[in-house]
Amino acid sequence: MIRRPSRRARIGQWVFLLAMLAGAWYLASNAADNLARRHIAFGFGYLANTANFDIPFSLIDFGPDDSYARALLVCVLNTLLVSAMSVVAATLIGLLVGLMRLSSNWLIRNIGLAYIELVRNTPILVQIIFWYVAVLHNLPGPRQSLHLPLGVLLNVRGFYLPVPVMAPWSRAASLLALLLVVASPFVARLTANGKSLGKLALAMPVLAALLFAVGIDHVDAPSLTGFNVTGGVQLPPELAALWAGLSIYSGAFIAEIVRSSVQAVSQGQREAARSMGLKPSLMLFLVVLPQALRMMVPPLTSQYLNVIKSSSLGAAVAYPEIFQIFAGTVLNKSGREIETFAIVMAIFLSINLAVSAAMNAYNRRVMLMTAR
């Protein structure tokens, strides 16, 4: 079947490549002309310049005196924050709704279906703006804050969450707790004297949680003082709207992934489980889900990548992520179109590559080894 490409095809290929090169050369020379006319030299040195603008929400300290490079770090962290929050929430929503779709209960099944159809067939941008403008902006002011469970306050300025304040001496304990959590999956696979350490590994996260809890000095709960809310951590409405939009939208797609993967687990597996006398719930958790989870990994990966890419829609609600800050503010202030877009695209591409590499490595480990 393998034939060598004909001579004509190879000549065609070279003509095509040369034409592409010529096109690229033409565009680049135009750009060079235009930049020369504006007396701008191409280069990334401007990243060291002072930003002269503030970012309303940042995980690390940022002020107008900091450089563009630090602004880049701030907004990359913001993008990663909202992406991580949305991936977790969307997975939980997707798992719940996907299982609802599989329920034997007619009402539950169809509520799940209605959710999926309603959410999947509406643009995500409409949803994000709806949450931001129509819901979060119509909330009462701080004085009339809504009191949610667990001491959470909700008003027009966003969510206010209570945060634990750690005692100064607990640094080491928290570090140890983190170490325990990270190490537990590795310990689970170790064996000592031929016995698996799996059960011991299960105790490690519990121990970590205890270590962490001991270190809490007090809980800083948000409270009303005068006309404002003090204490706690503020989740700005921009972040909340983007989070809600991304999680609810992607949750519907993940629900479909969950449903189709569970239905793809072969019928023989279920029959075998039933013939061994497993209850339906045990069958679901011990036989069906572990196999379905493996099938879910590749489609979930592309869904997670979609979440990360869609986080750029934060620009529509002015959430300070990469796109809003770099393709917006920095571009306007520095006038460096080419460099700025190169940075934005490079960051999205590398986040995407990193996530898909990690998920692919995970997939290779858990993939079903069917001897088909």
Partner 1 sequence: MSEAGSINPAAPDAGVTAPARSFERWMGWLRRNLFDSPANSFLTLAAAVFLALVLPAVWNWAVTQADLWGDSKSACGGQGACWVFVRLRLPVFIFGQYPPSEQWRVVVAVSLLIGFAVPALRDGTAHRGLWVALLLTLFPLVAGVLLVGGVPGLPFIDTTLWGGLTLDVVIAFVTMAGSLPLGVLLAYGRRSRLAGIRTVSIAFIELWRGVPLLTVLFMAAVLLPLFLPNGATVDRLVRAMGALVLFNAAYMAEVVRGGLQGVDAEQEEAAQSLGLAWWQTQTLVVLPQAMRIIVPGIINTAVDLFKDTTLVTIVGLSDLLGAVNQSLKDPAWLGLAPEGYAFAAVVFFVCCFAMSAYGRSFERRLARGQGRQP
Site residues, partner 1 (CB under 8 A): 1, 3-5, 9-10, 13-14, 16-17, 20, 27-28, 30-31, 33-35, 37, 103-108, 111, 117-118, 120-127, 129-130, 133-134, 137-138, 309-310, 312-313, 315-316, 323, 327, 331, 337-338, 341, 344-345, 348-349, 352-353
Q: What does the alpha-carbon distance between residue 355 and residue 83 come to, in Å, rounded to a whole number?
A: 11
Bridge partners of 367, per DSSP, are: none
Smaller CB separation from partner 1, 34 or 263: 34
Q: What does the alpha-carbon distance between residue 135 and residue 248 come to, in Å, rounded to a whole number?
A: 15
List the structure tokens of 341: 């877009």
Could you give the residue ranges of the DSSP H alpha helices within the chain? 7-37, 68-101, 106-120, 124-129, 171-189, 198-214, 237-264, 267-275, 280-282, 289-310, 322, 331-334, 337-366
Smaller CB separation from partner 1, 205 or 328: 328
Q: What does the alpha-carbon distance between residue 73 and residue 322 come to, in Å, rounded to a whole number?
A: 9
Least distance to partner 1, CB of residue 209, Å: 30
Q: What does the alpha-carbon distance between residue 254 and residue 119 come to, in Å, rounded to a whole number?
A: 12
Least distance to partner 1, CB of residue 297, Å: 18
Least distance to partner 1, CB of residue 256, Å: 11
Smaller CB separation from partner 1, 174 or 352: 352
Smaller CB separation from partner 1, 28 or 210: 28
Q: Contact 224/68 with Cβ under 8 angstroms?
A: no
Smaller CB separation from partner 1, 3 or 39: 3
Q: What does the alpha-carbon distance between residue 323 and residue 5 come to, in Å, rounded to a whole number?
A: 44
Smaller CB separation from partner 1, 56 or 123: 123
Phi-psi region of 367 (alpha: psi -120 to 50; beta: other; left: phi over 0): beta
Smaller CB separation from partner 1, 184 or 250: 250
Least distance to partner 1, CB of residue 9, Å: 6
Least distance to partner 1, CB of residue 321, Å: 10
List the structure tokens of 93: 């929503």
List the structure tokens of 344: 């934005």
Least distance to partner 1, CB of residue 35, Å: 8
Q: What does the alpha-carbon distance between residue 231 and residue 145 come to, in Å, rounded to a whole number?
A: 14
Block residue for tokens 């797609």: 253
Least distance to partner 1, CB of residue 69, Å: 20
